[in-house]
Structures are given as C-alpha cells and as structure tokens.
Structure 1
Amino acid sequence: MFETLKELPGDKILALMQLYRDDPREAKIDLGVGVYKNADGVTPVMKAIKDAEKQLWEAEITKTYVGLIGDPAFSDAMIKLVLDGVVERKAVASAATPGGTGAVRQAFDFARMANRNVRVFVSTPTWPNHLSILKHMEIETVPYRYFDEETCGVDFDGMMADLAAAKPGDVVLLHGCCHNPTGANLNMAQWQEVVALLQKTGATPMIDIAYQGFGDGLDDDAAATRLVASSLPETIIAASCSKNFGIYRERTGLLMVVSQDTSRTAINQGTLAYLNRQNYSFPPDHGARLVTMVLNDDALRGDWVTELEETRLSMLTLRQQLADELQAKTGSNRFGFIAQHRGMFSRLGLSEADVLKIRESHAIYMVGDSRINIAGLNSKTVPVLADAIAQVVKS
C-alpha cells in the first residue's frame, strides 16, 4: 500500500538550514533558523536550568509516568506565569504537551471536538507550521490581513474588517506577543478593540504565546493574553517554554483552556486528558520539571529573570544598531521599523529576488519573505548585513 504515498513539500526553513550548512564560505551568516543565539553564535543553557538539572539529578528517584496531563505543579506554575491570577485557577483546564507545537496541535484538535466544522482565522502571514498543521488536519482556514508590506507595521483596519466575518464556533488565532514572522505587534488600545470585536462576533480566541519575556518583559508580553482571557467567555492558550527557558530540545509546552463558566472546567480538563491519551499518552516531564523548579524557587527564578532580561535587551540593542546602520547607509528611515518590532524576528519588506541576491553575494541566509532572526546577529555582523541590504535596495 505504500506505493500510494506521494512526496510532500519540504519545510522551507529546514531546506534553508541545509543550504547554509552546505555553503563553504567562512563568513556566512544564518538569520533563518528560529533559535536564539548569543553573540558567539551559541544557544546557551541558562544558568538557572543548569542549576535545576543538578538539583534534579540529586533528588530524582524515579522515571515513572506523571499522568496524562503532566505534573499539576507545572500547570500551576505556568498558568501563574502567563495569566497571573486574572482569572480564577478553577476556570483553567490545562495539559502539558511536547513543546509549543504540541500545544498548538492539541488546541486545534480540542476546537474541532467542540465544533466539527470549526474555521480558524489566521493572520497573513503567520508561523508556517500553523498553516501546515491546519492543512494536514483538514480544518478550514480563513486568512485575515495583518502585516502591511508598505509600512512593515500592522494593517489594523484590514485586520478588524476581516475578523468581523468570524462567528460563534469559529476560532481566531492570535499571537500573544513578538509576532512570528513579522515582529509587528498590536498595541494595548488595539488589543482592546480586538476584544470588543470578539465579544460582538462570539468567536473564540486562541492565543499562541511562544516568546513571553523576549519583547517588552515578562508581564508586558503577557498583558494582551491576560486581557483576552479575562474579558471573554472562553479562551484557548498555547504556551511554549522553548525560547524563554532555552530548553528547545526538551519539548516543553502547556495548553490552557479558560472558561469563565467554571462548571465547564471538568469537561474541558477531561477532554485535554483524552486528547493527550490519543496522541502520545504521557507528555515529557524533564523540561516541565525544570521549569517548575525555576518558577517555584526564589534563587533559581531570580537567576532566570536576570538572564532572560539580558537576552531581551541584547536583541533590542541589535535592533537599534541595525536600524541606525541602515539609516546611515541608505540615507533614509525606511528600516526604522526594525527598532520598533519586538521578539526574535522582523520581516524587512525585501523581495524574494533581493533575498536571493543577498544570499548569493554575501552568504547571508534569510527566509524568502525577508524574515530575519535578529538573534542570529551580533555587533560585528550587523554592519555586514546593513551593507548587503543597502546594496540591494540601491541597485
């Protein structure tokens, strides 16, 4: 029967990574892969995580399963981190997942169980895996305008016009902070308008929050998620620990389902446990346990917050440096938006031909839509990138 299988399209970012690896040029720069790197090009293990691992190694006496939804202490710690008490704890059902991607997949499954004909409204653009998973699951997607190619900001009027077509039983997928792939974010006044529109349409918000702490700080980055969760009858939240705890390979995420009608929580919780059982039974625990230890121990948490803040500020410094270099080299403020974007990514507004020219002539690798990973830069490579961009936009 295997002869019926057909070759599937490859992941463009993974293909780009292979091109980068195969490039023999020593001065090549990788701005494609969505992983945080320090100035030395290393994705470090955070001090708090290393210390927690040492403590866990000394104390752990079993590797047995912890339950279908993972360790309840992990859920409690993450719910507090993301929501900080804006809704009652008893209003939140939750389940540990293999990374933020696992949370996203389970969230779509949860929504489809609630409404077999669910439609998911998705920003243009969005993280490519959102669309890939939805297509694989054969869930109808409805695009809504988001990124303005001219200003490299948010097309808010277009977004609101498109979301007005949502209805009860639909899901509206939103990025909690640090929009991937654009870096362009709503301000709080705009978030309040989105909430008002969702209240009017009756659609259910789903928030993917994968970069809390990478934008404007832990609380500021969670402010929109907290506003939505506290203002609407139901909210789905997919949270990732990969970036802000630096534990990518540990695959640590949490799916939260908020229902203001707390009589629904038990059914929501049972549904999440059922979905975990159908997909992978018990979620991984190692990363979740480390996160729990860090969040619940004052000393570990203090180290984590300090290092996370250093990471955030380093990316803001690189953003400002790149914006300043480009202004100096192009004689215009065309790229001033880079300093205003937040998170790891910015979309530069270059054509695919420009991106190819930069790759071929300067060994600088970015995604075809001109998304760059700011964390792939350092103070020495920023001028190199600025020179390359200036050359293509002037030609």
Structure 2
Amino acid sequence: GILVGVASVIAMMALGEGAKGAMQEQLKSMGSNLLSIRGGSASFHGAAQGSGAVARFTFSDVDDIASLQSFVKSATGVVTGNARIVYGNNNWSSSLTGVGFDYGVMRSVIPVLGRWFTLDEIVQREKVAIIGVTVVKELFGGSNPLGKTVKINRINFQIIGIAPAKGFSGPQDEDDVVIIPATTAMYRVLGKDYLSGIFVEVTSTALIEKAKSEIGALIIKKHRLKEDDESFNIRDMTEMQKMLSSTTQTMSLLLGSIAAISLLVGGIGIMNIMLVSVTERTREIGLRKAIGARKNDIMMQFLVESVGLTVCGGFIGVLAGIGISLVLSFFAGWAVKTSLLSVVLAAAFSALIGIFFGLWPAKKAAELKPLEALRYE
C-alpha cells in the first residue's frame, strides 16, 4: 500500500507538472497580449435560446476589429473542422484549421520547412496546405512532403510547408493539424459562411482590458446584442492560465485523495504486520525486559522497525513512480518533471505513516510484563 501510494503520487505529480509546463510554454509562445473571441451559447435554465444563440463572426468583423488601431496590432479569423487526408495508400484523420495571413506570426506557426501563405493565396481560396509533424510522419514517413499533392476531404491540395513542432497541450496533439487558408476552408472544404473565432493581438498588455471592453462593445453594437448577452466570449491569456491552474488543482486534489487512500491502506497493513511481530516475539520482549530493557527501549525498537518498513516502501515507491512517469510520458508525448519536493514529501509521509501506525504495536510491546512474556508459548 505504501509503495503503491507513493508511486502513484510521484508518477502523477511528475506527469501533472510536465503537462502544466507544456501548457504554460504554449501559452507563453502565444503571447500575453493575445485575445481569443469565440461564439458562446446564450442559455436559460440550461437551454439554448433559438436562433442567434451563438454569435457568428465573418471577415467583416475581423476588419472592424483590426480598424481599432489605437490598441489592436492585428486581427485574424480562424475556422476549424475535421480533415481526412489521403496520400497514395496512406490516409489519416486530423484537425483542420483555416487561418488568415497574420495567424502565422501571431501563433508562432511559420513553417520550419517551406513557406507561409501569401495574401493572394488567401484571397483566391487556393488549395495549399501546411501540415504538422505528426501528419508528416503518418503520411510520408521519412520523405519530404513539400510540393506533394494530397487529398483533404477528397480535394487536391499542394503541401507548401511543415509547421513547427508544438507537442501536446493536455491530451491534444498540437502537431496533428492541417492548416489551410480560412477562405479555402470555409468555401471549398467545410461549406461554412462564418468563422469559428477571431484572434486579436493587442499592442501592449497594459491595454488588454480596454481592448476587451471596446471590442465587446463593437460586437454588441454590430450584431445588435444585449449588454448581458452570452452569445460570444472574449478571453485573454491570463484567463486561460487561471483555467489551467484550476484544472491542475482539481487533478492534484483527485490524485491526493487516491494517494491518501493508498497510504491509509498501507498504514493499516504495517500496523497489522507489527502486531503479528509483537505476538511472535513476545518471549524475546520478555527476555530483553528481564535483562534490563526499559519500556522506551522496547517501544523505540518497534517504532524504528515500523518506520524502516514504510521508508523502504516509500523509497521503492519513489523509484517505481519515476519509472512509471517516464513510461507514461513516452505515450503522453510531454516531458515529466519529478521535483525534489515531491520526493522529500513522499519520504516524510512514509516516515509519518510508520510512526502513526507503528505507535500502537510499539506501545503494546512496551507494556508486556516480563514474567508473562517469558511464559508465553
């Protein structure tokens, strides 16, 4: 129980810290002055309210937001969907993202190999695509995909670039993506006449709140919405970091509960083992007392044995936890971070469990009377 409890804590804390670090790095790469505008469902007692419940943005909204040049550096629309990509005998399902011209710099996805879209390609709805490294691996193996033609949802596209590796964001593989012009995605592939959202780069972090207020007012006025309407939302990176922290805290609480149960079970097991040991060594205890051992000496002996058992279990649990976290990180796709604090806490808790659950058996052993103990068969 001690081993399982400590191993689970070490493994999950390492994975949790690794995931948190990966997400924070991605948020940093996006920039602290980035706003995300999405349509959100207005509801009443949990039910969406008919037509207009979700604000639908168009390129006109992007242009209007971009015109607020006193605090908006750039704005770009995005449209999302699913893609089935076929190359030769290979096929792969991925996420599809249609983007505007400024998206590459704004989200740090300018290709490491190849190039970004031109303005003409976006305006002309050209069938060109940039793919993530996961898609490259699945469809092309080790060969160079640049200039090759693939079918995306049964439409021929030319590969013009490979997006930089991003890794995982939680369970989402950020490299499993196909990026095409937003116009192409809307009118040629997905059959949409509206955007999934808008990204806005604010000129400085000091103007974030002002930008959110002004952009919100602009959308409300243009779409004729009420002030308290929930048909859209504007989030900045600070809010996303708070959401991340909240998720991490919830996960930590859950893992802590599981670990507490495992350690409790392990502690009860240690107590039972020590009680059996006291019974089996009754004559030994009587002999020690007969030759001068005090109550404290007997009690300390059994406490040391109890703590030794739990600390050994904790040490093996730490090693097992590190090993498990490395194996899981291989499948999860992000680096693990085993902190010194988690190891120290695991060792400390193991010792405390040994003291707490070893106290009763140790006290029972110390209170045995020498004559009765020596007569015990």
Q: Same fold (TM over 0.5)?
A: no
Say which one has the larger Rg.
Answer: 2
**Where is the strand percentage greater, Structure 1 or Structure 2?**
2
* TM-score in terms of structure 2 length: 0.20
Higher relative contact order (CA 8 A, sep 6+): 2
TM-score by length of 1: 0.20
